[in-house]
Homo-oligomer: A and B are copies of this chain.
Amino acid sequence: MSSASRRNAGFQPELRKNIVTREWVIIAKGRGKRPSDLRRDADPQEDPPQYDSKCPFCPGNEGKTPPEVFALRDGGKPNSRGWSVRVVPNKFAALRADGSDALRSVGIYSARDGFGAHEVIIESPEHNKDLWEMDTEHIEGVVEAYRQRYLAYEVAESLRHVLIFRNHGPKAGTSLVHPHTQLIAGPVLPHQVHLELLGAGHYWEYLGKCVFCDILDYELSSGERAVFESDHFVVVTAFAGRYPFETWVIPKRHSIRFADMSEEEASDFASVLKEVLRRIALCLGRPSYNYAIHSAPTTDYNVRAYHWHLEIYPRITTLGGFELGSDIYINVISPEDAAKALREVGSE
C-alpha cells in the first residue's frame, strides 16, 4: 500500500459477502461525503444553466477533478479546456485502485478490499444537455470513450467485470446534473450478470441457441414489444420488465462483449441510443432514468451463450417494501402499451 493510500486508509471501500444469499455489497464510507448523499430531500435544479462555474465537470474546472485518463480534444493540454468528452477517476470512488485482491474472514463472514476502478465519463462541456440532445457525431465520441475505457479494464487479471451505467435525474440517483456516465470495474461478478449468464448458458445447453437471439427473432415477428430497429440493433420493451417502459437495445449480431462492436456498429449504436432516449423523454416528460450495458465478464468464463445489450430503466415509480423484500417487481404499465407509445411518438 502506498503512503498516499495509507493516508486515506479509513476510506478504503470494502466488498462484503452476504453470508446467506452470497450476494456482494460494497461498503464505501467515503462516498457518504458526497453532497447528494444522505440528504433527505433531493433538491434538483429544474432548469440548469448551460454553464455552472461551481460544477467540477464544466470547462475551466478541470483542476477540480482527478487528472483525466482519456479525452477527445480539439486542442489544449490534458486537464485544460478544449475537450469534447473527458474521462476522470471518480473522486468519491466506490472501488479503488489500491488494496489487496485476497479474500479475508471477518468472524463467520467473508470480505475483501474494495479493489477496482470507478471512472466518470463526462459526456459534454455543456452543463445542461441530456445525452439524446447532443449531435449523433458527439454521441459517437461518448460511445468511443465507453469502448476505450472498457478495454482498459478488460485486460486486468484481477478484475472480473466492467459495468458502464448512466444516472439521469433526481429519482435516478444522480449526484451531479452535468451529463455523465460512470464505469465501475470490480473483482467480483455482479449477481444480475451471473443470473443472466446462468440462464443464457442453460438455454444454450438445452436448446442449442442463444436466448437473446431468440428474443430478437420473436419480438420482430410478433411486433408487440418491438419499438424500432436499425441496421444493427433492435429496440424492444422487456417482456418481464421490472420498471415501467423498461427498454432493451440488443445487437442483431450474436456478440458477447460490448467492445467487440465494429466501427459501423458503434456509429449505429450512437444513433439508436439517441433515438430511444429521445422517445422515452417525449413519452414520459423527460423522466429520471438509468441505463446499464450488460456485457460478458472479462476473464475465464464460458460466455459463448451471452449476448451483450443495453437496459434502460425509467424511474417514474418508487420501489416499495414488496420489491425490496422479495425481488419481485410490480410494473404498473404493460410492456405492450409502453412499446406502442414509444412507436407512436417516433413519428412526432
* Selected contact of A191 from candidates B211, B313, B326, B330, CB within 8 Å: B326
Report A194-216 residues with CB < 8 Å from chain B CB.
195-196, 199-200, 203, 211-212, 214-215
Determine whether the beta carbon of B38 is less than 8 Å from that of A322: no
| Measured CA separation A337–B29 after assembly (Å) | 10
Determine whether the beta carbon of B240 is less than 8 Å from that of A167: no
CB nearest to A92 among chain B residues:
B332
CB nearest to A319 among chain B residues:
B173
Residues of chain B lying within 8 A (CB to CB) of residue A327: 23, 190-192, 195
| Measured CA separation A218–B105 after assembly (Å) | 13
Residues of chain B lying within 8 A (CB to CB) of residue A317: 37-38, 173
A80 close to B (CB within 8 Å): no
A299 close to B (CB within 8 Å): no
| Measured CA separation A109–B236 after assembly (Å) | 14
| Measured CA separation A330–B184 after assembly (Å) | 12
* Selected contact of A290 from candidates B16, B171, B238, B321, CB within 8 Å: B321
Task: Write the nearest CB–CB distance from A224 to chain B, whole angstroms.
Answer: 9
Task: Write the nearest CB–CB distance from A127 to chain B, whole angstroms.
Answer: 20
A102 close to B (CB within 8 Å): no
Interface size class of chain A, counting residues whose CB lies under 8 Å from the partner chain:
35 or more
Determine whether the beta carbon of B19 is less than 8 Å from that of A322: no
| Measured CA separation A23–B246 after assembly (Å) | 15
A17 close to B (CB within 8 Å): yes
Residues of chain B lying within 8 A (CB to CB) of residue A94: 322, 330
SS of A interface (majority)? mixed
* Selected contact of A330 from candidates B31, B107, B285, B316, CB within 8 Å: B31
Q: A218-B107, A290-B320 are known contacts. Are A325 and B165 too (CB-CB below 8 A)?
A: yes
Determine whether the beta carbon of B29 is less than 8 Å from that of A330: no
CB nearest to A316 among chain B residues:
B38
| Measured CA separation A106–B190 after assembly (Å) | 29
- Interface membership of chain A positions 291-328, coded 1 if the CB is closer than 8 angstroms to chain B and 0 otherwise: 11110000000000000000101001111111111111
Report A79-108 residues with CB < 8 Å from chain B CB.
94, 106-108
Determine whether the beta carbon of A106 is less than 8 Å from that of B328: no
| Measured CA separation A332–B30 after assembly (Å) | 7
Report A46-89 residues with CB < 8 Å from chain B CB.
none
- Selected A-B contacts with CB under 8 Å, 22 pairs: A18-B199, A18-B238, A19-B203, A19-B239, A19-B240, A20-B211, A21-B192, A25-B331, A26-B331, A27-B335, A28-B330, A29-B334, A29-B337, A32-B333, A40-B171, A108-B215, A163-B326, A166-B321, A170-B318, A182-B322, A191-B328, A195-B327
Which A residues are closer than 8 A to B by beta carbons? 16-29, 31-32, 34, 37-38, 40, 42, 94, 106-109, 163, 165-167, 170-174, 182, 184, 186, 188, 190-193, 195-196, 199-200, 203, 211-212, 214-215, 218, 222, 238-242, 244, 285, 287, 290-294, 311, 313, 316-335, 337
Given contacts A25-B242, A172-B318, 18 further A-B pairs with CB under 8 A are: A19-B199, A19-B211, A19-B215, A20-B212, A21-B195, A21-B199, A27-B240, A28-B332, A29-B332, A163-B322, A165-B324, A166-B321, A171-B318, A173-B318, A182-B322, A191-B328, A292-B322, A292-B324
